[in-house]
Structure 1
Amino acid sequence: MNTKFAVIASASFLALAATPAMAEPFSGPYVGVEAGLDSYEVQADDVFAAGDHYDGLSGNGVVGAVFAGYDLPLGTSAFVGVEGKAALSAAEITVDTGEDAFTVGAKETFGATARLGAMLNDSTGIYGRAGWENTRFKAELNGEGDSDRDDALVLGAGLETRFGDATSFRVEYTYADYSDFIKNNSVRAGVAYRF
């Protein structure tokens, strides 16, 4: 995780240093929708105290989300903002050993992050993101299951570009570290509308 954080932080600071002086930064309130791919990795013996180890299991699934936020300009070429998000994922891991059938899936997520970015030109900016999210996971072992919620540290980086007067398109990568046994890498694309 330290390597991922260093890469994301370095990209954000390099962008801040290299931006043109006359770019107009993102500002004001916005809402949006996004969709993409979640890729979870889990160690199953930490989910169930069953004595069996399923190290390095991974599962992919589509994810959709709605978000809302507010950006403030920092000078003429940088911006800082806060954002809240609600998402629903279809990512699921299923393993059948013949003796045991194990399934764990991600469900709804709620989170809040801050972002710091800089404009590359008049319409496009790059940013880094950090914050918190909480996800409900549903797990089953041999037909018996339960659900639980876990908190995660979220780090990410993205690129956003304006088209039209109030609309923007963005692509983003995020890494969520829930605990010692659950991680998620997510790539998403979204559209935002600014008021």
Structure 2
Amino acid sequence: MKPYFLPLSLGFASLCAIATPASAQTFEGPYVGAQAGWSQNKLGTVETDGGAAQIDDSRDAATAGVFFGYNIQPANRIVLSAEGAVNFGFDDGVSRSQKDAMGRINPEYGFDLGVRAGYLVTDNTLVYARGGYENIRASVRLRNIEGAYGDKDNFDGWSVGGGVERAVTDRISARVEYRYSDLGGSGTKFERHQALFGIAYHF
């Protein structure tokens, strides 16, 4: 995690240091942004359309994507958000080879839909928790004594996390976020940890 997260943290700190005064109004209305960071896929037994893959391994990789959402402030210093995102992984496939079997799961892209609940500790600093639905599209390759299989498959589940977002100007904010996702179920173990740095433009 450290090779990816340390530069992100330093970048966030630098933006905060040069931030100009911004209003709490930054956190009202629609916004779009881009994010990048560290991602770890941790897989056990994975049930696919072609059968079970016994992976029992994890992989660290880089990830990047775009997000969009809408903020409202129903009460003083309280911010609620609905948010969606599309993310892509880079060299994040996880595989395991044995004498008579091989399994590889290679996440290609994913999307998530969620909500955030936050508190403005200052007029330009939001601390928040988040949760929602997540879906991953992956390439699957299997080989066993019965033959070989290759196709695409979907893995979905839920995610939770939290972060800090700071308004750099009235229109631009920067944030650092941690997220945990459980994409398993029905005999599948597929977990994901992410540390993300994002920049958003508020309309």
TM-score, length-scaled by structure 2: 0.77
2:51 counterpart (30, 37, 49): 49
2:180 counterpart (139, 154, 175): 175
Could you tell me how far 1:165 is from its partner in structure 2? 2.1
Where does residue 100 of structure 1 map in the other structure? 101
Alignment of 1:133 with 2:138, yes or no, is no
Could you tell me how far 1:98 is from its partner in structure 2? 4.8
Could you tell me how far 1:33 is from its partner in structure 2? 0.2
Where does residue 119 of structure 1 map in the other structure? 120
Is the CA contact 1:60–1:92 (under 8 Å) kept in the aligned structure 2?
no
Where does residue 197 of structure 2 map in the other structure? 189
Is the CA contact 1:169–1:192 (under 8 Å) kept in the aligned structure 2?
yes
Alignment of 1:83 with 2:91, yes or no, is no
- Tell me how large the CA RMSD over aligned residues is: 2.0
Q: Mark the CA change 1:174 to 1:45 in structure 2 (over 3 Å): closer, same or farther.
A: closer
Where does residue 32 of structure 1 map in the other structure? 33
Q: Mark the CA change 1:144 to 1:154 in structure 2 (over 3 Å): closer, same or farther.
A: same
Identity rate of aligned residues, in percent? Answer: 27
Could you tell me how far 1:92 is from its partner in structure 2? 1.3
**For the residues of structure 1 that align with 2:104 and 2:152, how far apart are their CA atoms?**
11
Is the CA contact 2:106–2:139 (under 8 Å) kept in the aligned structure 1?
yes
Q: Mark the CA change 1:154 to 1:45 in structure 2 (over 3 Å): closer, same or farther.
A: closer
Is the CA contact 1:152–1:177 (under 8 Å) kept in the aligned structure 2?
yes
**Alignment gaps of 5+ in structure 1:** 1-22
Where does residue 73 of structure 1 map in the other structure? 73
User: Which piece of structure 1 moves more, 175-184 or 89-98?
Assistant: 89-98
Could you tell me how far 1:29 is from its partner in structure 2? 0.7
**Alignment gaps of 5+ in structure 2:** 1-22
| Larger proportion of strand | 2
Is the CA contact 2:46–2:190 (under 8 Å) kept in the aligned structure 1?
no
Structure 1 runs (4+) greater than 4 angstroms displaced: none
AA at the equivalent of 2:198 = G
Could you tell me how far 1:171 is from its partner in structure 2? 0.7
Q: Mark the CA change 1:137 to 1:83 in structure 2 (over 3 Å): closer, same or farther.
A: same
TM-score, length-scaled by structure 1: 0.80
**For the residues of structure 1 that align with 2:67 and 2:76, how far apart are their CA atoms?**
25
